[in-house]
Amino acid sequence: MTPTRRVLGICWVALCLGLSSPGMAQEHVAQTMRPVIRGRQAAVTSMKAEATEAARRILAEGGNAFDAIVGGQAALAVTDFPLNGVGSDAVILIYSAREKKVISINAEPRAPKLATIDWYEKNNGGKIPDSDGLLSGGIPGVVDAWYILLDRWGTMSFSQVLQPAIDLAENGYPISELRARAIARSEKIRKYPSTVKIYLPNGEVPKPGDIFRNPDLARTLKKLVEAEKENQSKGRHAALQAARDRFYKGDIARELAAFSEANGGLFRYEDFAEYTAEVEVPVSIDYRGYQIYKNPSASQGPAELIALNLLEGYDLKAMGLNSPDYIHINVEAMKLAMADREKYLGDMDFIKIPYAGLLAKDYARERRKLIDPARASLELRPGSPEKFMRGMPTPGREIHAVLEGHADHQGDTSYIGIVDKDRNMVSFEPSLHSLFGTGVVMGNTGIIFNCRGDYYSLVRGEANALEPGKRPRSTLQSTLVMKDGQPFAIMGSPGGDDQVMRTIQTLINIVDFGMNIQQAIEAPRWSTSSFPASPFPHTMYPGAMEVEARIPEATQAELIARGHKLTVAGPWSLGSNGGIIVDQKNGVLSAGADPRVEAYAWAW
């Protein structure tokens, strides 16, 4: 069980909030565990207070959203270390006020050249290790994402924006209860001496309130700053690129590659030197007058758009929030969307994704007929969107449901979002994928790689099948919303396969039920795992779903009667959301953060 699913000490306060009556959105969540944080200048929400403060400080010093998101995520990498780090991958959505355009940045890892299906069949029993060790690893993408953000839209230097993270890593900060608990409960980090050195100093688990340091990571970050300063005379662009290149082409890359080769990994220097994140055109739909944007490639994000198109055909408000009908219809729509995710979504550099059909309203109308209002589906049912396109042949891809083994649908990720005074918006989802990623600190760099490599399929012909240089179809995703051509909202949530279910519920709570951002985040939640899990071996649990205990028992009983295999989770366990809304009438920013975790929002 991941930290985001553990019941917090505050959970029983929910009993006095009256959060369970359906159909009364404004009344039943009027009181929130945390207040909405409002301001007129700028707003930040993230999974850690230190990251929110780092971003706030950079904005206060004259930086814009792009400067602040780099500094904030770097600080998040230091302080939210079990879930996110300098070794993370990431997907990012931005709205550039200057360009008046929404843009996607994909910083997912690419498979090493040595990583092939044949290799895993011959050398590892036809299996990818589940979230443990270098054979499950992925090349870090966040450093290249930092460079792209600063170079294309930022105003500050690496020296300026990385200073808060360097200070946190070098001088330390008081560790929280959740982070101390994560270290104590992780078995895999105890297997690797380079990891034990940092996270179990003197062989002991840090206690809450102890000062936690990662001096090796501070030295790595300082190397980026050194490279930048050494190249300042060549201009800002060249200096930024020199810092980036030291990571992917210089001594840092060589140390990472050497450690990989010496410890059984498949990463080599050429894999780092040839790595690039990609700037992409996002995909979007209109949902009840709002334009919802998602990252298009190597992401599960578009599955939310598919589900929203299905749900648009229902009067969700009339059903009542979290009523049996409401939850049933949402879960069944998500199953259909996730079946399409499994068949069609992947790395657009390697496969064609039929978005014109997948996101067509006519396709949604046809697929909606499959939803039985009285019975839960136990099948994996992808559609045929090509019928709603011109001149595109059916991909003919393989798809199958794995019912054996155990694959965790819950992942470990982080989030930070920023809106600045010019209404630039950045929604940044970085991740190690599973708790402590690969578990292996790479030599003396202080960096743990994400373990996104365990997302690949080893079945030839599938959309997400492993190939050298290919990006895995990640669970990473967030949401950017426009209305009438103007910025409206950003939101995101850690949670593996559950991410799209968390952001779709937050969005519907706002659009269909008129909630403010904090109400939308705190409302009771549902989840399903009735589709193939992203991590190897990609197990599907037909009919499985969860609800938080705050969902009424009568609703739970009716869902069981409709054939759902229901599990009741802790009352505050299915979420770790953050979001910011822009009031288009007066420009006020409203920021929210999830009380289920250590998230903090600020605005001024």
Predicted TM-score (pTM) of the model is 0.93
pLDDT along the chain (604 residues), means of 10: 35 34 41 96 98 98 98 98 96 98 98 97 94 94 98 98 98 96 94 96 94 98 98 98 98 98 97 98 98 97 98 98 98 98 96 96 98 98 92 69 69 90 98 93 97 92 95 96 98 94 98 98 98 90 97 98 98 96 97 97 98
pLDDT score at 536: 85
CA gap 280, 493 in Å, rounded: 21
Contact yes or no for 55/427 (Cβ under 8 A)? no
Contact yes or no for 477/499 (Cβ under 8 A)? yes
String of DSSP letters for 85-125? -TT-EEEEEEEETTTTEEEEEEE-----TT--HHHHHHHST
Q: Scan for tokens 């992925």, then name that residue.
A: 138
Q: Which helix (H) or strand (E) holds 38?
A: strand 37-39
How long a stretch of residues is the chain?
604
**Distant-in-sequence, close-in-space partners of 368: CB < 8 Å, separation ≥ 6:** 310, 313, 333
**Distant-in-sequence, close-in-space partners of 487: CB < 8 Å, separation ≥ 6:** 95, 97, 419, 423, 425, 582
User: Among 492, 483, 486, 476, which Cα is nearest to 417's?
Assistant: 492
pLDDT score at 5: 36
HEC secondary structure over 369-419 = CCCCCCCCCCCCCCCCHHHHCCCCCCCCCCCCCECCCCCCCCCEECCEEEE
CA gap 527, 544 in Å, rounded: 9
Cβ burial of 196 (10 Å; 0-12, 13-18, 19+) is middle
**Distant-in-sequence, close-in-space partners of 113: CB < 8 Å, separation ≥ 6:** 268, 270, 271, 468, 469
